[in-house]
Amino acid sequence: MNDARKKAVVLLSGGLDSATVLAAARADGFDCYALCFAYGQRHAIEVEAARRVAERIGEVELRVIRIDLRTFGGSALTDDIDVPHNHDVESSKIPITYVPARNTIFLSYALAWAEVLGAADIFIGVNAVDYSGYPDCRPAFIDAFETMANLATRAGADGVKLTLHAPLIDLTKAQIIQLGVKLGVDYSVTHSCYDPDGQGRACGRCDACRLRAAGFSQAGQPDPTRYQRLEAT
């Protein structure tokens, strides 16, 4: 690490959480390299949101990796299965929107880029509320990935400690929004909905929309989300 400023790779989906994490990494003094994944047609709108977020925060190098998780199928986010609405977010069952090994794959690419850049820090925006049954959002998963990453890479072999940061992991959605507002995040350019319409407007009914709307409400902040239906706000 000869650079004066430390480099960090930040997973950026264009959603509320990852936008907050990118702002937090910048505030911590890191030069940020944002990594966004295009997987399945349904989420093209997420890539556009990621570009807007990176531009709005500024001085961020964004790479978009196109991967085809539909090769394996198995999830409503990549297959042509209907996204369920009004799913019980308090349920401990893993929702159908879970994508097999998604965070593992995303973090593996982040690890590759970090090694090439000479970055010893990776940021991911998982949190306890988003967990709601997603195994790869648990603190134990983050710890295990970090351990594995330090054995996997040349950096680890050379004695450089790689750190996987999940700064939102213990925060509620409201606390994440309060943090982001403090850091100046413009949430109007972020996208969270699993089932947007052609104009990118949120459905207001899927898990992601409900958690997001409740977060703005509990944070006492105006919700800048564009919704398809007034009654869902």
Instruction: Considering only the stretches 70-78, 165-173, 185-193, 195-203, report the one whose residues sit in contact with a second copy under the rule CB under 8 A.
Output: 70-78
The one-letter code for the residue type at 168 is: L
**Contacts (CB under 8 A) with a second copy, residues 90-129:** 94, 98-105, 107-109, 111-113, 115-116
Q: Min. distance of Cβ 154 from a second copy in angstroms?
A: 5
Q: Is 55 in the site for a second copy (CB under 8 A)?
A: no
Q: Is 84 in the site for a second copy (CB under 8 A)?
A: no
- Round to whole Å and give the CA distance between 85 and 65: 29
Q: Min. distance of Cβ 99 from a second copy in angstroms?
A: 8
Q: Are 56 and 216 in contact (CB under 8 A)?
A: no
Rounded to a whole number of angstroms, the CA Rg of the chain reads 17
Helix, strand and coil in the chain, % to nearest 5 = 45, 10, 45
Q: Is 73 in the site for a second copy (CB under 8 A)?
A: yes
Q: Min. distance of Cβ 230 from a second copy in angstroms?
A: 36
Q: Left if phi > 0, otherwise alpha if psi is -120 to 50, otherwise beta: which for 74? A: left
Q: Min. distance of Cβ 149 from a second copy in angstroms?
A: 7
Number of residues lying near a second copy (CB under 8 A)? 42
Strands 31-38 and 61-66: parallel
H/E segment holding residue 120: none
Q: CB under 8 Å to 90, separation ≥6 — which residues? A: 132
How many residues are listed for the chain in this entry? Answer: 233
Q: Is 157 in the site for a second copy (CB under 8 A)?
A: yes
CA distances from residue 120 to 80, 83, 123 in whole angstroms, order as listed: 38, 37, 10
CA dihedral 213, 216, 217, 219 (to 10 degrees): 150
Is 98 or 216 the residue whose CB approaches a second copy more closely?
98
Q: Decide: helix, strand or coil at residue 67.
A: coil
Is 104 or 172 the residue whose CB approaches a second copy more closely?
104
Q: Is 153 in the site for a second copy (CB under 8 A)?
A: yes
Residue owning tokens 């998963």: 141
Q: Min. distance of Cβ 115 from a second copy in angstroms?
A: 4
Among 12, 149, 189, 213, binds a second copy (CB under 8 A): 149
Q: Min. distance of Cβ 27 from a second copy in angstroms?
A: 26
Q: Is 74 in the site for a second copy (CB under 8 A)?
A: yes
Binding residues (CB under 8 A) for a second copy: these are 63, 65, 67-69, 71-74, 94, 98-105, 107-109, 111-113, 115-116, 135-136, 138, 140-141, 144-145, 147-149, 151-154, 156-157
